[in-house]
Chains A and B, each alone.
Chain A
């Protein structure tokens, strides 16, 4: 108890010590980094779901061919009646002719209420292809909003009056952006938004009209979960429940594991902080051997010393972790405000779980970094009070390694999640450390040559760098790592993301042509080639639902928790072809080719979700017919290829008896965009879909993720600076001794200052150069292996990184050591004694 109090007392008295400060600083940086991601991960997941929700216009969407009269009763929880607090909106979708003068066009009309859409926003412009401004989706009375593609079809413009059924409306604007496409990306005609309360006066709706009722819901995740669970039990097979996630199915790959990788990036900052903490703790222990020996003289037992130092460590650990968490909370808020300004107010407030995770991470990191040093400290022999040179009894190396290793491994395992990722992470880290150490050593050897040629303070500074070789290697390694990762991310963003569009051309389609009737196929092909546009293969498309596997209803073949798969509920786009599509690869079985038999090829992800294998017999419901076929191959599909992609591909001839329209994708160069209105007018029934919007969405998601990672790399740089400061503090006594000697010998303060500056600037420049080299190599590998992009060098990198390194290392180094140039020699000699 006394030692507990004493520990705190001594800690308070020593709070100004450099080692404690660096240790605390490093811990704050490390924990700040992981807690920023912890908080952010929490909210980013939600932000991604917001993005998904704005695709859909809601968190949940229910479509039904009939109005749904009864909804699940409010759930009874804890005996209290809980009314559903979900926001709701209703819309009705139907097809009708829209006419102006002699022109008429079939359009999809969506009658909306005032609440539509619940998520995301509708932008209305006053002319086609303008950006528009966010406005309520419900038009003013007597007005409609139309999709831009409708205007040329009707030779109309904004302000014109059109007729729908028996009613007349003014076109008040064009829809530049609108969430909510219930049928997926495919299969809709030019759309018109009108007021739900004005449907009646059109008198279009007759008994037997094909209608789709859209019910949108938005609210808190747990309420939505309870609601949708209850709702699922009441829906029949003609009704569909769509979660916001399903609204972004094509982006699913980009989301997978994003959170985990962001967390691992943050972990690197924490581990770099561990290096700084370990150095600071080691040096702290060195400086406290006398104190520990004295306390032993005064009668302290090993257990009591352990208590004393443990309480100090725990206090610092908690303090650093909590400050780190506070910084994390501020940083993530700043970040959310930066990249998701409109979502900031809708995101849930900070949870407590990330706080716990961050504090435990901080304590684990601190334990791993400092226990070996403190284990030595409590084993200091009391005789040291008489014989100052007596070192503490060495702690067996394996115990030290086991303590640190298990703490750090536990930390990594916690963040990486699965054993394979732990292995990859640890392996990559070890490899990186090995390479960086080697590079740093080589660079220092090269520096020796430079030093020989240098004069005056520069020579002195470089000599320092070379003399403290272990320290220099560590500083160089840490800073190179930080700069390298920062640069790599900048390159990934500039090269890969912005370059994505350039990567997709030359032939990447930017428009889909949907709903091409069989008799139009030749005409479409002729029209396109006449305008020198190149379309993809035409795929016939039939919509059908998967009903049985090997004679058993498909849902019954799946475990309970997998039965709500979206693939089961929705109609799949089925096609047939003899040639394997370009972005597909057969993973199992054999591609059916020209063979006309009841055979299908299934996308591998769908096969995995539904537990399908080659040889399974599937049956699809298409309209009132049933279509049976055996799986003869499983395919991988590159979903982001912007080509028409299909979950299920039949062998040739299998769909002939069914009413099929075709789909194709086409690349329209920007200068040929004028062809489209003509096309639309020539083929009024064919829907032209712009993919630019989809690409923009994918890019927005990438930009968000990368923005988050870049913030984390700020922590990484700070951690690198902490390593530099920690190693410098450890060498401060020796440096001061040298400075005193030099000053006694007549060196001026300016000489010492120049020496220090040259040392740190050289270190920073070197780190920048090494980081540039590493980044170029890594980028070349990524571009070549992953994206098959041509090799490109980045000259600006070789200028920016060394400059940044010189600035950051120079500043932190100078701030740490500058006072050794200011202390008068006499005072320093006394202090050293």
Chain B
């Protein structure tokens, strides 16, 4: 692991944005830190440990794949890192903020405009067109040039011609492209992706992987993704393998 050169990896753009201005701009600061992270749930048969003592630090601009078998706790870890849930024990720092100190709404405010998501099931709003789906987080973040930006990102994923189509009229691959454009449109500092190719065939999945990493490289975004697709995991700089809730960093070739 080498520290980044700030000239090579400049701070994300949009510093003039009021929302962005609040964030501490520390190119060397870790985007996400997890310390002794555990998640337990109560079941009828007693307490079940989903995650145990996970330690993790992801620097800004890094790419990390979380892999593991079904039920190994991948998605749970992703949800905790993104601040979508509270851990049973341990500490998480996201974009310089200690999540344990924040309540649900404060964590939501932290996410607004600064965190992007890509889901296995795309999660596009069926009533909105492709363009409008990209527009949604921009509107929520209060971007003045939301519409232009959304059009720009739709073009970036090669779907400018389908702007007025609803998700129902798009193929799975196209829907995921829209979802990726939506995730990057707000210039987030970090993007979380949950099995982004899980619902796609191999060819389409490969193209989606290309797109995801291409956009990530040009936006210098931190990318954390959950996958059981080795090809996808191999594209990441780092890989964290979960076995029964315990994490092990895998050295990549």
Taking beta carbons and an 8 Å cutoff, which residues of A are in contact with B? 2-3, 5-6, 9-10, 13-14, 17, 290-291, 294-303, 381-383, 385-388, 831
Bound form: Cα–Cα A295–B108 in Å:
9
Closest to A295 in B: B140
Closest to A3 in B: B140
- A residues less than 8 Å from B115 (CB atoms): 297, 299
Bound form: Cα–Cα A188–B142 in Å:
85
Bound form: Cα–Cα A296–B137 in Å:
10
- A residues less than 8 Å from B142 (CB atoms): 2
Closest to B168 in A: A831
Assign chain B's interface to a size class.
20 to 34
Bound form: Cα–Cα A2–B137 in Å:
11
Known contacts A10-B128, A299-B112, then 12 further A-B pairs from the complex at CB < 8 Å, ordered by chain A residue? A6-B139, A13-B127, A17-B127, A291-B125, A297-B84, A297-B111, A298-B112, A299-B108, A299-B111, A299-B137, A383-B79, A386-B119
Contact of A300 with B85 in the complex, beta carbons under 8 Å = no
Bound form: Cα–Cα A710–B128 in Å:
44
- Identify which of A300, A303, A381, A388 contacts B140 (C-beta below 8 A): A300
Bound form: Cα–Cα A13–B136 in Å:
13
Contact of B123 with A290 in the complex, beta carbons under 8 Å = yes
- B residues less than 8 Å from A383 (CB atoms): 79, 84-85
Q: Distance in Å from the Cβ of B121 to the closest Cβ of chain A?
A: 7
Taking beta carbons and an 8 Å cutoff, which residues of B are in contact with A? 75, 78-79, 82, 84-85, 104-105, 108-115, 117, 119, 121, 123, 125, 127-128, 132, 136-137, 139-142, 168, 194
Given contacts A301-B108, A301-B109, contact A386 B141 (CB under 8 A): no
Given contacts A296-B108, A300-B108, A303-B105, contact A385 B123 (CB under 8 A): yes
- B residues less than 8 Å from A6 (CB atoms): 136, 139-140
Q: Distance in Å from the Cβ of B182 to the closest Cβ of chain A?
A: 9
- A residues less than 8 Å from B110 (CB atoms): 299
- B residues less than 8 Å from A14 (CB atoms): 127
Given contacts A385-B84, A388-B121, contact A301 B105 (CB under 8 A): yes
Q: Distance in Å from the Cβ of A377 to the closest Cβ of chain B?
A: 14
Contact of B194 with A386 in the complex, beta carbons under 8 Å = yes
Bound form: Cα–Cα A160–B110 in Å:
103
- A residues less than 8 Å from B78 (CB atoms): 386
- A residues less than 8 Å from B194 (CB atoms): 385-386
The 6 A-B pairs with the shortest beta carbon distances in the complex, nearest first, are: A299-B112, A301-B105, A13-B127, A299-B111, A14-B127, A382-B84
Bound form: Cα–Cα A417–B111 in Å:
51
- B residues less than 8 Å from A381 (CB atoms): 84-85
Inter-chain contact total with CB atoms closer than 8 Å: 81
Bound form: Cα–Cα A290–B127 in Å:
13
- Identify which of A2, A290, A291, A382 contacts B108 (C-beta below 8 A): A382
Bound form: Cα–Cα A381–B85 in Å:
8
Closest to A1 in B: B142
Bound form: Cα–Cα A303–B108 in Å:
11
- A residues less than 8 Å from B84 (CB atoms): 296-297, 381-383, 385-386
- B residues less than 8 Å from A388 (CB atoms): 121
Contact of A2 with B128 in the complex, beta carbons under 8 Å = no
- Identify which of A9, A296, A300, A385 contacts B119 (C-beta below 8 A): A385
Task: Pick from B75, B105, B112, B127 the residue with the most CB of A within 10 Å.
Answer: B127
Bound form: Cα–Cα A383–B83 in Å:
9
Q: Distance in Å from the Cβ of B251 to the closest Cβ of chain A?
A: 28
Bound form: Cα–Cα A295–B115 in Å:
12
Bound form: Cα–Cα A387–B82 in Å:
14
- B residues less than 8 Å from A831 (CB atoms): 168
Bound form: Cα–Cα A831–B137 in Å:
25
- B residues less than 8 Å from A382 (CB atoms): 84-85, 104, 108
Bound form: Cα–Cα A387–B74 in Å:
12
Contact of B117 with A2 in the complex, beta carbons under 8 Å = no
Closest to B129 in A: A13
Bound form: Cα–Cα A499–B137 in Å:
70
Bound form: Cα–Cα A184–B104 in Å:
77
Given contacts A303-B105, A383-B79, A387-B75, contact A298 B127 (CB under 8 A): no
Closest to B75 in A: A386
Q: Distance in Å from the Cβ of B15 to the closest Cβ of chain A?
A: 19
Q: Distance in Å from the Cβ of A746 to the closest Cβ of chain B?
A: 27
Closest to B132 in A: A13
Bound form: Cα–Cα A14–B129 in Å:
11
- Identify which of A13, A17, A297, A386 contacts B128 (C-beta below 8 A): A13
- B residues less than 8 Å from A291 (CB atoms): 125
Contact of B119 with A299 in the complex, beta carbons under 8 Å = no
Contact of A294 with B123 in the complex, beta carbons under 8 Å = yes
Q: Distance in Å from the Cβ of B250 to the closest Cβ of chain A?
A: 23
Contact of A299 with B109 in the complex, beta carbons under 8 Å = yes
Given contacts A10-B127, A13-B128, A382-B84, contact A299 B104 (CB under 8 A): no
Contact of A298 with B85 in the complex, beta carbons under 8 Å = no
Contact of A299 with B125 in the complex, beta carbons under 8 Å = no
Task: Pick from A17, A296, A303 the residue with the most CB of B within 10 Å.
Answer: A296
Q: Distance in Å from the Cβ of B22 to the closest Cβ of chain A?
A: 13
- A residues less than 8 Å from B104 (CB atoms): 302, 382
Instruction: Pick 9 A–B contacts, CB within 8 A, sort by A.
Output: A10-B125, A13-B132, A294-B125, A295-B136, A298-B117, A298-B140, A299-B140, A300-B140, A382-B104
- Identify which of B75, B132, B141 contacts A299 (C-beta below 8 A): B141
Closest to B124 in A: A294
Q: Distance in Å from the Cβ of B78 to the closest Cβ of chain A?
A: 7
Q: Distance in Å from the Cβ of A356 to the closest Cβ of chain B?
A: 33
Bound form: Cα–Cα A302–B85 in Å:
15
- A residues less than 8 Å from B79 (CB atoms): 383, 386-387
- A residues less than 8 Å from B168 (CB atoms): 831
- A residues less than 8 Å from B123 (CB atoms): 290, 294, 385
- A residues less than 8 Å from B121 (CB atoms): 388
- Identify which of A5, A10, A385, A387 contacts B117 (C-beta below 8 A): A385
Q: Distance in Å from the Cβ of A355 to the closest Cβ of chain B?
A: 32
Q: Distance in Å from the Cβ of B72 to the closest Cβ of chain A?
A: 14
- A residues less than 8 Å from B136 (CB atoms): 6, 295, 298
